[in-house]
Amino acid sequence: MASLNQKYGASMVAEKIDISVRRGIGDRFNVQFVPHLLFIDARGNVFSQKTGFMEESDLLAEFERAGINVRGDRPAERPAEAVNITVRNRTGYMIYYLYVSPTTNDNWGQDLLGNDVLSSGSDFTVRGEAGVRYDFRAVDEDGDSYTRRNIGLNQGTGDWWMEFTLDHIDR
């Protein structure tokens, strides 16, 4: 890992995590076998997962397939403006599952809370990309779901928040 960081440190970070110590990470990403590689973009989104050893050239190819240039042999694309999105739970119930997905996606992806819960009155921060519209879904302790759709994040306006209330419960 250290050699990858020395070679590509301006473009990527390689980190070894012992999931027997940091079990929440293994649970959150459904790690069944080690080594398990998570490829995460600058916005914190997992774009690929692989199990098993990979040569450096294969690691770099995985980034390239996602449109991320870590080699520095061509101009890097202008990174999207990352913003924090604070999700506020104002439902009166604990939220057990939280999903955030670009409106253009057909699936919700992984639960962002993992082993955590979002108590009523609490906030949870996720990373998003300015200029992208998002859908948000939460599932509470009773199994009721709340959905907010097509929430836009404008360029250059700083951090954002959205909240779930009982008015957003799916009927």
Name all domains of the chain by residue range, CATH numbers in brackets: 2-65 (no CATH), 82-168 (2.60.40.2890)
Closest among 8, 5, 6 to 16, alpha carbons compared:
5
Residue 119 has pLDDT above 60, yes or no: yes
The predicted-structure confidence for 41-59, as pLDDT tens digits, reads as follows 766 677 778 888 888 888 7
Residue 161 has pLDDT above 80, yes or no: yes
Residue 157 has pLDDT above 60, yes or no: no
